[in-house]
Structure 1
């Protein structure tokens, strides 16, 4: 009997829910995903082991070494070794083997030893896969709670290809990612970008078979998976993509690796570490590696240690208070010279902030690297309610001829469906934005034949207009799309006005406090 998507998702959530007595929901992922993947590996290994035994019945004269060679040559794609070999505690590092010991003390230690043994036995596939595994400590998660989680997860149907497809398995993994993000606030949302935003970016960049796709802040790997899924949906072979990602949080990097495996994607490399400080993908000469497609949803306005001497810093160095443009500079440096393109989600501040960011923005525009600015609705993300935008870049000289020497602006800020926790984009919303992105434009920059219900507007703007004295390289969408300008005030102007009034208020408060202090009246500054 086929396993339904709803069945596996319900069982997995029951297992996760056992953690409610031990930790906040934001931390569930660090426990549930390693256990889920361990069960998947164990079920898969056991399924192929039974096939091996059935096919080789009667070959009892095989030595242990010969049997091992045949099984791992013809049946298994990874090894599940033994833990504590040569001792009375020796047992296979499999789910069922350790589950049989849940009533014995030291369950967390045995789980940790099993996961570490699997990583060590399969260094090319599973190195650093399970993250820090700090949750296996009794001080973090008691043996009783861990046992309850494992017992609940064991009620999940067998997770192997003979019992469920990778589409079902990958879908269940993504279900948990989304549910953790929906219910846990900002922490889980830091590594999960809403699926519809991911799909929109991937649709815009349109990865082709055998291309390389790179995410410098890959989180749980959703953008890389979406690239493969899109190619597959269009009749291509998603597994032909070479997928690369870097993630600063080691446990989250492990989540990404497991996520890719669950989706039956094996041609990938996920590295840990700070991409700005220590990019892990480099050429032999020390420069950053270049890729066909780059996608990212980096942490917004991240405080960072600015580069002192880095070739990625075209146009200058982003300020310490915000690494937004530093991530863009890294992505631009990572674009392949022939057909490299990049898509990144960022807050609207990158479009108009001054100082060092304005200098970087000017250089990127002067080099004609920016292809499109797409304004998204507010409250789409799990970690912030602010409106965001997608910036699309093309390698120098890689723009289509009709898109050279200008920038396409799309205002999709009113295209959303309101939800309980956040707003969402429908398939129609995504399709209409993609249609606007590919539209033809007349001499005034207006789209030709673009049907719209009034909630989507687009305009192709020449660089001369953007560089004019009036605009001075400001990319605020409301400056270039009159419909947006008429209905929403210029966000940059609003922020400038707010900062000015705030400064004047502080001066007035300081003057008032001095007067009160001189009169012997104190306590108002507390």
Structure 2
């Protein structure tokens, strides 16, 4: 009889397993060196392994279909090609002394075979022969680790790999120290930013400090959530760090982005998205998380004037580039455009107005940042300020804020600025705090209501339903991911279990065996198979339980936040602890200071109000108790036998 012996199969990885696999790749690099030194190597190796395995998979399938391997390798048949001598398995089998050279040569060959799409994507800033930057032991361990898993589409789908790549980016950001602030924007913050600017198909979206590209990808995700075509977004990006620039290009490719305009240069010193007249291109939407308070932003380069005319509201200070970025953004917005920028909270209040002898007993010119902020406010360019919790951004514990600029405010929002204090609600995590979906709802409802409490209450149920639906969709996506990975392997379990039960309860002759020993052997085989498949079933059950537990927890938080928001938006005094609409005329007496505590009741610690007569009675009672305590101490001291002491 046929014997189907089931051993532990090599199956497709689930999202959680691939995330863990890539996290282990990052762990291989643990040591005293800043992880930002390593990340370019890891991302290049992962991308190399992926395209090599996918290319082999495509050639194998085309050869089976066409019956001609030469034709199956025709570059016209593929989105990218890998030359025969540059496949992963060839490079990975090299000796310790040759592996660095072979990797460099293979990646150069791949770039040449896929020009211009892959120009510099694997080689710029990466030298696998540089043992000082990447010690040879770590390189060998990384190669062995990636070689242990097949990365073709049969084992790792595009969506799963794209999500895992972002997970790896986040993992590196958490370890990368101070440099990570200009490298990665937490996915939750990026989601929030896309929901606020609401990009639409056909619009141009730019990120002038694109980092790993996450903000632009979230804009695509927003369009997808609206059941529209994300490929109709016109994406533009510029990034100064070469390694990060290549990481973002890989990120776009792995997420299936068909086209985007991506440049490598410093956007303040040398913006490259310009028209034929060398003027800045103007965009419908701008999303950005530039480095906080950049000291060397290029002040000296513009002493003779800025050829792009960006500093019309004033020249930013020499040692802080925050307002250089904000003026750059405003200059590159269309007249109907909207932007959202992550900033340090210093932009809200830094700088002093002009002082005179009459005003302050001394003469002092207005500070540069004060002048620029005043100009922004008088031009009605700022629509909203959102103060975020601390420790959201990697490598920076300073609480940031979101500045929303709109050149085409609706009439009811003109000459008004919405202030949202969003620092109270978040998940306390290590090393960074996290904004949960429920926390994002606490921001999006006030943003969309813009001070209208009746509208806010109506929006609560809409946002609650939308977020629960998104959480359920994510639950189903993750469960399907598990189903697709495990179901083909577990399919024989029921049949094998039934066969085992039948053989154990009947004799060998009735089961068609010529000898009892044959049945005994078959029972042993079945027990091994059922036991192994039972373990795999247990893994599947545990994975599904984890997904359901997480989803249930997030949905409970959403319902809790919705109930809380309804209470907040039913009481103007309570609402003022979270958000407030400020008329521009209120800002002039406050010297155009946008510090949140001036307009929103941000204090969490409140002293209990006690009427004056009650306070006097409490004071008298306290004095009586003090006098009684002193009397008892005196009596006790008088009763002591000091000779014994």
Q: 1:92 aligns with which of 65, 82, 85?
A: 85
> Using a 3 Å threshold, how does the CA distance of structure 1 residues 270 and 487 change in structure 2: closer, same or farther?
farther
C-alpha distance in structure 1 between counterparts of 2:344 and 2:201, whole Å: 31
**Which residues in structure 2 correspond to 1:281-300 (within 5 Å)?**
281-300=273-292
Contact 1:378/1:386 (CA < 8 Å) preserved in 2?
yes
C-alpha offsets along residues 422-472 of structure 1, whole Å, 9 cap, x if unaligned? 222110111221111010535xx99854635569611111111112xx212
CA distance in 1, matches of 2:26, 2:386: 37
CA contact (8 A) 1:212 1:243 kept: yes
Q: Are 2:41 and 1:72 aligned?
A: no
**Paired position in structure 2 for 1:429:** 439
| Distance in 2 between residues matched to 1:184 and 1:394, nearest whole Å | 34
Q: Which residue of 2 aligns with 1:199?
A: 191
Are 2:154 and 1:162 aligned?
Answer: yes
Question: 1:319 corresponds to which residue?
Answer: 317
- Residue by residue over 1:485-505, the C-alpha shift from the partner in whole angstroms, topping out at 9 and shown as x without a partner, is 6869xxxxxxxxxxxxxxxxx
User: Are 2:599 and 1:480 aligned?
Assistant: yes
TM-score normalised according to structure 2 size: 0.68
Of 565, 571, 582, which residue of structure 2 is paired with 1:461? 582
Matched, 1:53 2:172: no
CA root-mean-square deviation: 2.3
Gaps of 5+ in 2: 1-10, 352-366, 458-564, 569-573, 607-645
Paired residues of 1:202 and 1:226 also in contact (CA < 8 A) = yes
Tell me the SS of whatever aligns to 1:123.
Answer: coil
Distance 1:471 1:293 in 2: 31
Number of aligned positions between the proteins? 461
Give the match's secondary structure for 2:46.
helix
Q: Deviating runs (4+, > 6 A) in structure 1? A: none
Corresponding residue number in structure 2 for 1:15: 25
**Which residue of 2 is the match for residue 88 of structure 1?**
none
- 1:361 pairs with 350, 373, 377, which one? 373
User: How far apart, in 2, do the equivalents of 1:349 and 1:446 lie?
Assistant: 33
Per-residue CA deviations over 1:198-236 (Å, capped at 9, x if unaligned) read 111111111112322111111111111111112212212
Tell me how far 1:359 sits from its aligned partner: 1.0
Q: CA deviation at 1:288?
A: 0.9
- The answer for the alignment partner of 1:252 in structure 2 is 244
Higher relative contact order (CA 8 A, sep 6+): 2
Contact 1:218 1:296 in 2 (8 A): yes
- Find 1:352's aligned residue among 349, 352, 357: 349
TM-score (norm 1): 0.82
CA deviation string 1:75-126 (max 9, x = no partner): 3012223xxxxxxxxx52221221232x253211111122122222222311
Task: Decide which of 126, 133, 142 is 2:126's aligned counterpart.
Answer: 133
In structure 2, the residue corresponding to 1:125 is in which secondary structure? coil
Task: Output one character per residue of 1:465-488: Cα deviation in whole Å (capped at 9) or x when no partner.
Answer: 112xx212111111112x226869
> Following the alignment from structure 2 to structure 1, what is the Cα–Cα distance between the partners of residues 217 and 171?
18
**Distance in structure 2 (CA, Å) of the matches to 1:247 and 1:484:** 36
Identify the structure with the greater helix proportion. 2
Who is 1:498 aligned against? Answer: none
Contact 1:22–1:141 (CA<8 Å) still a contact in 2?
no
Segments of structure 1 that go 5 or more residues without pairing to the other structure are 82-90, 489-526
Does the aligned pair in 2 maintain the 1:446–1:458 contact within 8 Å? no
* Mapped pair 1:386 → 2:398: yes
* SS at 1:270 equivalent: strand
**What is the SS of the residue equivalent to 2:30?**
helix
Shift of 1:145: 3.2
1:193/1:260 CA distance change after superposition, 3 Å: same
The 5 A counterparts of 1:149-298 are: 149-156=142-149, 158-298=150-290
Q: Partners of 1:210 and 1:448 in 2: how far apart? A: 30
Query: Which has the higher mean CA deviation after the structures are superposed, 112-121 or 271-280?
Result: 112-121
Give the structure 1 partner of residue 334 of structure 2: 336
Q: In 2, Cα distance between the equivalents of 1:180 and 1:120?
A: 29
Alignment partner of 1:146 is 2:139? yes
